[in-house]
A and B are shown apart, each in its own frame.
Chain A
Amino acid sequence: EPEVTQTPSHQVTQMGQEVILRCVPISNHLYFYWYRQILGQKVEFLVSFYNNEISEKSEIFDDQFSVERPDGSNFTLKIRSTKLEDSAMYFCASSPSAGNQPQHFGDGTRLSIL
């Protein structure tokens, strides 16, 4: 069964540095998402992406964050000037369409800011 893949599985970065989290969505999916889960807390929506542009973003997704689809397969989340509170699990998800189609999640990237 096709799956969403994320790399790296764990990223350790010094505070103030930039990180890029990578995702390969399921190949025939058109809608892409990033979510964040701080340890022990709920999953929080960050951003959705369709047709090469951001469709929606939450209040968490401020100017520190950006997303890009640099080619036909990758979908990236960039965090500039990381802060301690950015430490979390970051999940990428994709779905074939909006609405009632389930979103399929990758295994996540654990980001640790030191």
Chain B
Amino acid sequence: GQSLEQPSEVTAVEGAIVQINCTYQTSGFYGLSWYQQHDGGAPTFLSYNALDGLEETGRFSSFLSRSDSYGYLLLQELQMKDSASYFCAVMNYGGSQGNLIFGKGTKLSVKP
């Protein structure tokens, strides 16, 4: 079967750094994506890792280790607006094109 594991909740203060981990077990793995979702909103793409290593986009970075089936999202200089759910998602090639298999999400609460 396919599964992704990530913490259900994380709390941090403004200005801090937080790391959200994700471990996965899937077939046909192609890459790991991260999406942000505010309450009632649409998932918004944050980053994608196909190869091992760190990808940096502004305050957000994402890391992948294919050998460990593990990745993380690093959020720096936290702001109140970062309070949201963060989903890791595996790009899965079960057939002729990729679809996203999502984790259950990590609810991040940023406090003043």
Contact = CB atoms under 8 A, between A and B. Distances in A.
Interface string A16-50: 00000000000000010101000001111100101
A44 B43 contact: no
B43 A48 contact: no
A74 to B, nearest CB: 18
Given A91-B43, A99-B30, A103-B45, A31 B104 contact: no
Contact of A104 (B37, B45, B95): B45
Nearest to A95: B98
Given A31-B97, A55-B96, A102 B50 contact: no
A107 B40 CA distance: 9
Contact of A42 (B33, B48, B87): B87
A107 B42 contact: yes
A114 to B, nearest CB: 20
Interface residues of B, number: 27
A99 B91 contact: yes
Most buried by B among A33, A43, A48, A50: A43
Interface residues of A, number: 24
B2 to A, nearest CB: 10
Given A43-B87, A102-B33, A56 B95 contact: yes
Interface of A: 31, 33, 35, 41-45, 48, 50, 55-56, 58, 91, 98-100, 102-108
Interface of B: 30-31, 33, 35, 37, 41-45, 48, 50, 87, 89, 91, 94-105
8 smallest CB-CB distances across A and B, nearest first, come from A102-B45, A98-B97, A56-B95, A105-B42, A43-B102, A42-B104, A45-B99, A55-B97
